[in-house]
A and B are shown apart, each in its own frame.
Chain A
Amino acid sequence: MDDGFYQIWVYLSTTPLLGLTVTLVAYQAGMWIYTRAGLHPLLNPVLIAVVLLVGLLMVTGTDYRTYFDGAQFVHFMLGPATVALAVPLYRQFQKVRRSFALILVAILSGSATAALSAIGVAWALGASRETLLSLAPKSVTAPIAMGIAEATGGAPSLTAVLVILTGILGAVLGTWTLNALRITDWRARGLAMGTASHGIGTARALQVNDVAGAFASLAMGLNGLATAVLLPLILGLIF
């Protein structure tokens, strides 16, 4: 019995099917828990899936390369999905054409604050160069942030996790921060959430108010573009 199972394991562990399947299963387990918990930001489905999969790989002694041979089919779709972000960005852009210049100023300020404050704090506390470069794009939506990290010498997979943690922090701390500052304009609240914590912040803003959600979604797209253009220049000046 055990021997038979072992043979099947040896076979499966060398095919891409296993990596692909466990990725989908882990993500759906994450979604299940997240939905059951009333969409609580701390129970982010991606974070749950990553924890489950890292646990599984460690317990079975599988290395990341072997897993990625299967999971790369999911990973590949990040490219076309990033291009597809232009469609919701355009949809939001149409609605706010008139005040676009103001919005751009606010998002650019947020974009620069996100990168510079993260680098500054981590540097002051002695973080390594690779950590600093991986941290810099952490407020940007994951597919773009990972591309930026790759282009600037950070570690894209570390960036992916830092991006998710930033999203969760923004969703948890955003309302508190905005209330403390007495920001009552839904547009400003949405922009702030989308700029600081991308899709997770946008989802949180949408739960609270439609206008805030639309502005958060616009901010997420524009901050992605702005950071991709500006961060390499900023990093060039610092490093």
Chain B
Amino acid sequence: MTLGFITLLLVFQLVGEVISKGLDLPLPGPVVGMALLFIALVIKGDAPDGLKDTADGLLKHLSLLFVPAGVGVMLHLHMIREEWLPISAALVVSTVMTIAVTALVMKGCCRFTDDESPKESHDG
């Protein structure tokens, strides 16, 4: 991880925050920063190794970073106790539906346009 690339990430986040707040967008500042960095990489046509290392280092323990916020669920325990049924039903139904719709749309698209799609006719 190099200081230069950490600074670069913070600069993109800062620019993202300024754009998000300045234009009153409903998008979170870091997401705007992420989109800008992605566009910059596409235009540049290559990601520098140092940036890859810094990003990988930061993302290696990404799940640690949302523990503090996750603990905040203790402030909502009463809500979960009262609404556990709609919450769990929504999570299960929506997760299965999302997997099904995404996979079926992708399969449908590939069937019409793609020649390198693996053969699927034998198993069904």
Across the interface, which residues of B come within 8 angstroms of A146, CB to CB?
66, 69
- The answer on a CB contact under 8 Å between A103 and B106 is yes
Which one of B9, B70, B94, B96 contacts A50 once the chains associate, using CB atoms below 8 Å?
B70
8 A Cβ contacts from B1-57 to A: 6, 9-10, 12-13, 16, 26-31, 33-35, 37-38, 41-42, 47, 51-52, 54-56
Query: Does chain B have a CB within 8 A of A213?
Result: no
8 A Cβ contacts from A6-50 to B: 23-24, 26-27, 45-46, 49-50
Please, how many angstroms separate the alpha-carbon atoms of A8 and B59 in the complex? 35
- The answer on a CB contact under 8 Å between A27 and B64 is yes
> What is the interface residue range for chain B against chain A?
35 or more
Across the interface, which residues of B come within 8 angstroms of A109, CB to CB?
101-102, 105
Q: Is the interface of B mostly helix, strand, loop or mixed?
A: helix
Across the interface, which residues of A come within 8 angstroms of B34, CB to CB?
82-86, 89, 144, 224-225
8 A Cβ contacts from A71-97 to B: 71-72, 74-75, 77-91, 93
Please, how many angstroms separate the alpha-carbon atoms of A92 and B12 in the complex? 21
The distance from the CB of B102 to the nearest CB of chain A, in whole angstroms, is 3
Across the interface, which residues of B come within 8 angstroms of A103, CB to CB?
106
The distance from the CB of B30 to the nearest CB of chain A, in whole angstroms, is 4
CB<8 Å pairs between A and B, sample of 6: A50-B70, A86-B37, A102-B110, A106-B109, A166-B95, A183-B104
Give A residues with C-beta under 8 Å from B.
Answer: 23-24, 26-27, 45-46, 49-50, 53-54, 57-58, 64, 67-68, 71-72, 74-75, 77-91, 93, 99, 102-103, 105-107, 109-110, 113-114, 117-119, 121-128, 130-131, 135, 138-139, 142-144, 146-148, 150-152, 155-158, 160-166, 169-170, 173-174, 177-178, 181-189, 191-193, 195-197, 199, 219, 224-225, 228-229, 232
Give B residues with C-beta under 8 Å from A.
Answer: 6, 9-10, 12-13, 16, 26-31, 33-35, 37-38, 41-42, 47, 51-52, 54-56, 58-59, 61-76, 79-80, 83, 85-87, 89-107, 109-110, 113-114, 117-118, 120, 123-124
